[in-house]
Structure 1
């Protein structure tokens, strides 16, 4: 054996073992689940019984081999029962097979066009309601079969004829169907070791055995010849091409959406490869073309069989393929067994399947999300009209509800109790549709009143802007005053500059700092910035500041550099009243106590404010440290001040351990000096009388920080080293490269 052949054998052997150990048993479980469901769905649609078996074989083998989902199992599905029954009634069985082939070709086009994910954009509430409507329709049809009669063509007829059917029920059929229903509903409550055998199989076998013992004549499944005898070519249906095209589109869309939603659900159940949705549509299309050409039902991915596949431990697509082969063997070799199954048994099976499509969890979710009207309308449309019209009605109502939610705006005008002024709140998407509401609420405001307008909108068109602007101008002309507080991303002063656009809400930092960046180069940036603060943020901090008007209780002294890039409250996630901030060039604390400003701040903070933490914070790219490191002589007061940091430079050159740690973490020489400077200031603080007394008597904590501007990360500095602070507040050793988030 060659080396390549030996390698291939070694590679394939574990895969073969995995198939035999996991996929082979799983395929048997799925086969036992799929067999009765395939027969029942064929009976429910009015198709030949063999059509359900053909679709199950093709779905397992073709979709299993070509599809994009590893563990999804395909076959005839309850979701297409109603539309297939209508198609057969309208075009005949051979014509329905042609439509299945055409729908499969359309699915392949969908997959090759890479639009599979677009099908997932359908509102889930419509899909849930569609399935519920199908389930109700199936249950209404099959209850007549269970009672010993025949189902009617429409749901309304099935309901109106039900009383008469109850008066003429067939006792044997009712008993058989009832046994199936009881077993299926109670199977989930049995011990796990018993539930290894699928409940549907047990129910059908038990009902078939019971029917053998009954003296009454029981109607059974009719299967003429073997599975191969049932194979027949499709025929072009008679009728208008517009009707045929609409039916093809309906089958293709429903089969595609159901398969993709099932694949999404299966992906959530296992940790293996994720579904390739475009390939899945190609595989489903190929399976439908094959099934239609062979005389089988349409094929979709089926969540019931797929979930059984995952729970049984399948790990590759071999399980799906093998389950299709088991159905083929059964259908060819055991035709006589199939013909012994009572129709009432399959009716009971389908009634349970149909009822289970109506999920209380979906109804509760629709109620919580305000989509109950969409759910109800879709269900009623599917049940009493047809599947396509019901889905279109649901989508139309869902779109109208979405449009109403998106464009609506809340406008409320009310007097402010404490001072007699008025407040007008405008919240939402403000368009011309809001003009009547704006006019109504503005009319409530008395002339001459002082008004605060809270504007929190993400879209403001020119009509709404003009309505607000004109009312403000008119109100001010009659002696009133108007103040704006603009909390949303759209502002009045930009609404008339260009066409309206929806602007996403910005993050906190950009919302707070962006206005200052925009005004920094204007003639009077402070006045402009203060005006924008009043309009945008004063309302947010006003309640908090109101609690601080009688005193402050900061938790830390924060001594840092005067550099404009350091914003203490931002890098410490703190707010007004939290930090007692002291700033100077280079965050230096003269060891001789010559800076009375720092001395006064420390005494006031620790003795008067009872602060329990003192922090020194340096930063990267510090101009003071760069001047100190380069030894530049400016001949100004800067030289005199930086002389207080000379001990830091000396210790840095002597080889301070903080410098070594900073160098190992990838920082440059100036940043290493800045960290050593922080460590030196900590040593100075530990010897300061007020700080030392606070540490000994009250447990005051002294700590150092270094802010790396480029990365936005904060590093902890001690007298002997540095450490990273991760996103969970843990102190970690510095990396051997540049400081990175954990």
Structure 2
């Protein structure tokens, strides 16, 4: 137990590569910090918690997750998916609820890591992940529409309907200045990388848009005053009523934080030559990060795929890069909140709109849509539910739909085949039915296989050999059904012989009572030749 817990804590080997990579790590940390600044501010505003909370989250949660997490190159902080989930929570429960729900969600994620639930993310199908990503990207874009036209976001509505209401009621004369800022910043973000890939396009676009607004004295909304220091950490007040009211929201946030963080860590492990990640430790790190963020007045944090990708591409090899990223943003808090407060909200909207487009891979969408009808339907359904209803429900329904199609496919490949008896035919062989079970005998196929065996009109058959050596999977329903098949055939005077039971299936068949349903314990036989010989003796005695 002690060694298992020790595996989830920081240790010296986390920095084994540091003597050789510290220069690359520092450069990567500075690079990703520059990229993270406008995103942290934008996601904080988009969630309804505020720019200051987004910045605090990037500093505090980014630092804690870097030290305690299970990935060497993961960068954590506020993300678009979390902003999407938080916005309705702020609208319903108020801004004061965020600290408590953040700490609660962090505790839940921490508990999931300690109880070793980290590998559960491997059960999420690829079409569900991509549909979820497409849905989040769409919501992030739609959430920026009100700020892009200089209007407040309507409360109590999904991003889709809120954007529609804002666009239909917009005063285009007042919307022109923020739209011009959006267009200018977006054009820079798209164009600057074509000049040189090392240019930090997000930060450059925000700085240029801010200077343009100041120079032309455009009347657009700004971020406003930001604190020039980190607040003192405090535990949020929690009474039983508040805990009961916010528990559902905390569970949804925790599920999203776990899924997004583990997916990001898995992507990072595939991109970076730093070895595999530890999913359970990653959950521990992300849980502690959200608890710390909530205590400092921040919002829930997750692993950020875009920032992690920038970190890896910039040469990061150890956790020092993510730590440097957080320290750089901490310097912004103490030294540069004055200039940051003058950034126009429309410029941050442009950053998120372009980011949303970059989250969508046209090639990936076409690949999934061209794969199979079931995968395409799962992808489209997950994306649609994400946009129109709820993110967590979208993942749950997507997994259920994918599981249904997978089980249906397995059931279709499961069959019972009557085989010809091997060797020269002997008198009485027509009374013996050799039946081979293929695929899986489970709840999705058991009834169909049962009907195939017991419903066959073969009045001359007096002995049935059920050949199980080719059976890949057997569950309790399948075993129970085999018992019913044996009882049904034996009640008709047909002797049942079960041949080739695999070792992992024998205990289940015994516990369910299948062996007891046979006429004699000798009717459980390993060898096909022995099973046929025994069947022929029964067929001969029935003459």
TM (normalized to structure 1)?
0.56
Listed one character per residue, the Cα deviations across residues 513-537 of structure 1 (whole Å, up to 9, x for unaligned) are xxx9935668969x99xxxxxxxxx
CA distance in 1, matches of 2:450, 2:396: 38
Q: Residue in 1 aligned with 2:414?
A: 429
Seen in structure 2, the aligned counterparts of structure 1 residues 141 and 474 have a Cα distance that, compared at 3 Å, is same
The residue aligned with 1:90 is: 92
Asked whether the equivalents of residues 230 and 333 of structure 2 are also in contact (C-alpha less than 8 Å), the reply is no
Post-superposition Cα deviations, 1:321-360, rounded to whole Å, max 9, x if no partner, equal 0110010011110111101211000001111122333332
Residue 291 of structure 1 aligns with which residue?
Answer: 293
What SS does the aligned partner of 1:458 have? strand
Aligned with residue 439 of structure 2, among 451, 454, 458: 458
User: Is residue 400 from structure 1 mapped to residue 409 from structure 2 by the alignment?
Assistant: no
Question: Residue 307 of structure 1: CA displacement?
Answer: 0.9
CA contact (8 A) 2:468 2:498 kept: no
Q: What 5-or-longer segments of structure 1 have no aligned partner?
A: 1-10, 410-427, 432-451, 478-483, 505-515, 529-742
Q: Is the alpha carbon distance of 1:465 and 1:96 closer, same or farther for their aligned partners in structure 2, counting shifts above 3 Å?
A: closer
Q: 1:363 corresponds to which residue?
A: 365
- Secondary structure at 2:224 match in 1: coil
Corresponding position of 1:53: 55
Q: Is the 8 A contact 1:107 1:252 kept in 2?
A: yes
Residue correspondence of structure 1 range 214-233 to structure 2 within 5 A: 214-228=216-230
Q: Which residue of the partner structure matches residue 385 of structure 1?
A: 389
More helix by share: 2
Secondary structure at the counterpart of residue 136 of structure 2: helix
Distance 1:501 1:95, change over 3 A: farther
Distance 1:277 1:203, change over 3 A: same
CA distance, structure 2, for counterparts of residue 117 and residue 402 of structure 1 = 20
Q: Cα deviations across residues 562-613 of structure 1 (Å, max 9, x unaligned)? A: xxxxxxxxxxxxxxxxxxxxxxxxxxxxxxxxxxxxxxxxxxxxxxxxxxxx
CA contact (8 A) 2:469 2:501 kept: no
For structure 2, the residue ranges without an aligned partner over 5 or more in a row are 1-12, 417-432, 473-481, 487-496, 505-524, 538-543
Counterpart check, 1:76 vs 2:78: yes
Structure 1 residues 129, 168: closer, same or farther in 2, change over 3 A? farther
Match of 1:152 in 2: 154
Alignment CA distance shift 1:84-1:498 (3 Å): farther
Q: Deviations over 1:355-407 (max 9, x none)?
A: 33333244234321332222222222222222233333323323333333332
Question: In the TM superposition, what is the alpha-carbon distance from 1:206 to its structure 2 partner?
Answer: 1.6
Deviation at 1:499, TM superposition (A): 12
Q: Verify the 8 A CA contact 2:500 2:528 in the aligned structure 1.
A: no
Which residues in structure 2 correspond to 1:69-148 (within 5 Å)?
A: 69-148=71-150
User: What does residue 468 of structure 1 align with?
Assistant: 452
- Measured after TM superposition, the shift of residue 502 of structure 1 is 10
Matched, 1:518 2:511: no
Aligned partner of 2:425 in structure 1 is none
Task: Find the counterpart in structure 2 of residue 674 from structure 1.
Answer: none
SS of alignment partner, residue 156 of structure 1: helix
| 1:149-168 Cα shifts (integer Å, max 9, x gaps) | 22233222322431322645
Return the alpha-carbon distance in structure 2 between the equivalents of residues 125 and 241 of structure 1: 35
Distance in 2 separating the partners of 1:46 and 1:268: 34
Q: Please state how far the C-alpha of 1:456 moved relative to its aligned partner.
A: 7.4
The 3 A distance-change label for structure 1 pair 466 and 342 is closer
2:278 equivalent among 276, 299, 303: 276
CA distance in structure 2 between the partners assigned to 1:136 and 1:381 by the alignment: 12
Q: Which has the higher contact order (CA 8 A, sep 6+)?
A: 2
Of 159, 170, 181, which aligns to 1:165? 170
C-alpha deviation, 1:244, in angstroms: 1.5
Query: Closer, same or farther in 2 for the Cα pair 1:463/1:267, shift >3 Å?
Result: closer
CA distance in 2, matches of 1:62, 1:167: 45
Relative to structure 1, is the Cα distance of residues 243 and 17 closer, same or farther in structure 2, using a 3 angstrom cutoff?
A: same
SS in 1 for 2:414: strand
TM-score, scaled relative to structure 2: 0.75
Q: Mark the structure with the bigger radius of gyration.
A: 1
- Equivalent pair of 2:59/2:330 in contact (CA under 8 Å): yes
Show CA shifts across 1:33-60 (max 9, x none). 1011001101111112111111111133
Q: Aligned partners of 1:12, 1:253: CA distance in 2, in Å?
A: 27
CA distance in 2, matches of 1:388, 1:273: 30
SS of the residue 1:316 aligns to? coil
Which residue does 2:30 correspond to in 1? 28
Between the aligned partners of 2:154 and 2:16, the Cα distance in structure 1 is 54
Report if the CA contact (8 A) 2:90-2:97 is conserved.
yes
* Mapping 1:156-195, distance limit 5 Å: 156-165=161-170, 167-190=172-195, 194-195=196-197
Q: Distance in 2 between matches of 1:181 and 1:503?
A: 63
The one of 257, 260, 263 aligned to 1:258: 260
- Structure 1 residues 463 and 117, CA, compared in 2 at 3 Å: closer, same or farther? closer
Calculate the aligned-residue CA RMSD, in Å: 3.8
Distance in 1 between residues matched to 2:240 and 2:49, nearest whole Å = 18
Q: Is the 8 A contact 2:499 2:531 kept in 1?
A: no
Per-residue deviation, 1:24: 1.1
Q: How far does residue 140 in structure 1 lie from its aligned partner after superposition? A: 1.1
- Counterpart contact for 1:125–1:362, Cα < 8 Å: no
- Residue equivalent to 2:376: 372
Q: What is the rounded CA distance, in whole Å, between the counterparts of 1:210 and 1:373 in structure 2?
A: 46
Tell me if the contact between 1:177 and 1:347 (Cα under 8 Å) persists in the aligned partners.
yes
